[in-house]
Amino acid sequence: MLEYDVVIVGGGLTGLRAAVGLSEKYSVALVSKVHPIRSHSIAAQGGINASLANNPDSKDDNPEKHTFDTVKGSDYLADQDAAELMCKEAPNVVFEMEHWGCPFSRFSDGTIAQRPFGGAGYPRTCYSADLTGHVLLNTLYERAVALGVRVFYEYVVLALAVDEGVCHGVIVLDQVSGKLIPIRAKTTLFATGGYGRVYFHSTNALINTGSGIGIAYAAGIAMKDMEFVQFHPTSLLGTNILITEGARGEGGYLFNNKGERFMERYAPKAMELAPRDITARSIKTEMEEGRGFEHEFGTYIQLDLRHLGEQKIAERLPGIRRFCIDFVNVDPVYEPIPIMPCQHYSMGGIDVNMRCESAVKGFYAAGECSSVSVHGANRLGGNSLLETIVFGKLASRSIPEYLEAHDVRPDEKALLRTQAQVEQKIRRLTSGGNEKPFPVLDTLRKAMDDDVGIFRTRAELERALAKVIEVKERYRHVRVSSSALHMNYELIAAMELEQMIDVGHAITLGALLREESRGSHFRRDFKERNDDAWLKHTLATKGPDTEPVISYKDVTITRYQPMARTY
């Protein structure tokens, strides 16, 4: 059994920033299913928001205006005190990363460059060409290495040890040795990322299963606002590789098959830089109404960068150009990019407050796996990288306060009981049953894609819910081919499948019960936002029969009363 003051699960930006903040004073274990620089944070392209006011068009920008844009973009479901905290921390976080060596793009005067992003009143998105997540992640990993952070990579967390409302650590599988290892910890922080692979079409890496959210849920910790799923407007046709919002921030146009810049119909002022929920719905509408282009991989819309010129594309969007040439044989210098919307981000997640604390003592969550909530019903582009680093940093402040205020003594017996439960589950999955995990997962993903998508209706959601319940029953009969624990990806997939089903169940049920349209959640049978009935967060907790129990809690409103969203 290993023992640490803090165990951090997840090697992306949130986990690394928390580890950097904690490691000088406390013993810290960073556990990641992949090497940290293969974490999904590396895929973020466009930038990180901060009101630096470096851009000539943002000279009067400030954290208050950033907060308002965030709250408005959230369709007023964000907790405003949390959004304000994030936006106030933003400039310091960006400067801190700069001082640690992050190579941001620069204006000619040497200041950090900023580009426009959707839903923002000012160009406040700081960037490094179109690989911002890459440079931020490498900068933090270098910092963690310099500080001697203990990293366990290719270790998969299988369960939380929670007893009488207190977290005592985690049970992990070392995939290389094939051993189950309890890690006894005074505090545990989950920074495990989103659940994109619950959907069939997603920009997310294959590791983004939402397993961290599902593990916390199984341990009795609520999920919050799971029905709010962000669909990115622009993924590359056929592969769903992300085409950054920075492509539109740099001036890219969206065209339908009639040659129209159709966003004028939906967001006449913001055009291509409307918030993601509005832009994705607009593209989907064009495609459904016959104004898309047809291809063997499906219907698509064109993203045109040709007017930007080769030099600007080479300087600002080199990765996008490379993806397009390599994967669809399109050079955006000469041809429009074929794009389609698909699942991208999780607004919902583990229910925590703005100190990253959950209802279970000693258990924290931050980043995309959590719901603070700073994004509410819709996240603005550039706020995700910001959230990861800000709340990783804030977790590294709040965890010491907890440790210093309590005489924390994690219980070894609680860990051993949890390990026995994990071993029992593995025995079940490796004996009996006639279902393979991957066909069951594909059924779930297809149902989520078809019926819990950009547009939703009661009939579709009821059909999806029935399919989720069917999949849950099929899971009882899943069996994997080998009982070996060494690099057994089929077994890991089967273990995570249960968590993915729970995540899909919460998304679908929350969407069915929320009879309004707000942000990313658009009901064709309830097209208007209804603040009187639905200005509230959805909570899903695991009931005694394993079904999600839904309850609600108030949104924190401080300065900004809900009003109509126009762009």
Task: Specify the DSSP element, H or E, that contains 362.
Answer: none
8 A C-beta contact, residue 381 and residue 245: yes
Q: What's the rounded Cα separation, in Å, for the pair 522 and 527?
A: 7
Return the structure tokens found at 504.
């899909």
What secondary structure, in 3-state letters, does 429-444 show? HCCCCCECHHHHHHHH
**What residues does 48 pair with on adjacent strands?**
126
Identify the active-site residue in 17, 143, 276, 379.
276
How long, in residues, is the chain? 567
Q: DSSP characters for 294-335?
A: EETTEEEEEEE-GGG-HHHHHHH-HHHHHHHHHHH---TTTS
One-letter amino acid at 32 equals S
Return the structure tokens found at 287.
């495609």
- Rounded to 10°, the helix 132-146/80-99 angle is 70
Does the active-site annotation cover 276?
yes
8 A C-beta contact, residue 468 and residue 451: no
Return the structure tokens found at 524.
């064709």
Q: What's the rounded Cα separation, in Å, for the pair 95 and 5?
A: 29
Closest CA to 317 of 234, 257, 207, 388: 234
Q: What's the rounded Cα separation, in Å, for the pair 130 and 226?
A: 29
Closest CA to 126 of 111, 141, 143: 111
Distances (CA, A) of 281 to 250, 264, 266, 287: 21, 13, 9, 10
- Is residue 444 packed enough to be buried (19+ CB in 10 Å), middle (13-18) or exposed (0-12)? buried
Q: DSSP characters for 147-173?
A: TT-EEEETEEEEEEEEETTEEEEEEEE
- Is residue 407 packed enough to be buried (19+ CB in 10 Å), middle (13-18) or exposed (0-12)? exposed
Q: What's the rounded Cα separation, in Å, for the pair 562 and 405?
A: 38
- What is the CB neighbour count within 10 angstroms for residue 481? 10
Strands 150-153 and 28-32, sheet pairing: parallel
Active site residues: 276
